[in-house]
Structure 1
Amino acid sequence: MLKTVTQAMPPLTDPSELVWQGVDKLDGITYAILDQGKEDRARNNLFVAGILLGAAVAFLMGALQVLLKAAHRPK
């Protein structure tokens, strides 16, 4: 799994380890992790959806063009 810490408060001393050290106590530790594999899959799914949506719009525009030509054809 490819996971990256994108935010940490207090900042990490070693970015390769999710560890905080304190003398007395640690309060308010927050962090955010980005799962790069999941983000890649979501991006790929969005790309495929964009292709399918583009193809659908192209088909509809072509059909509309054919209908408009047929409607304006002299009888």
Structure 2
Amino acid sequence: MDAQLMIQPSFFVDAGIQVESVRGSSLFKFSDDLQERLDNLNEKKKKSSLTPDEEAELTGILELDRIFTLLNAKIIAESA
């Protein structure tokens, strides 16, 4: 397994996270700014033009996305 550098997902919590009510459940989602940053980094990755710092940032945001996916799935499953 290769070790990857990443910005800790907790770095994005203060400004990049929102809680949205969906069908009576509160779900986690990215702010518009963080979602736009993720989209921009993904585009740069497709063009193979990410700097090492941007790669670390993208890795951290993607890890946070995985965490939210799991949390939101649990919230939805428990509300059904």
The normalised TM-score by structure 1 is 0.40
Name which structure has the greater RCO, CA cutoff 8 Å, separation 6+: 2
Structure whose residues are more often helix by fraction:
2
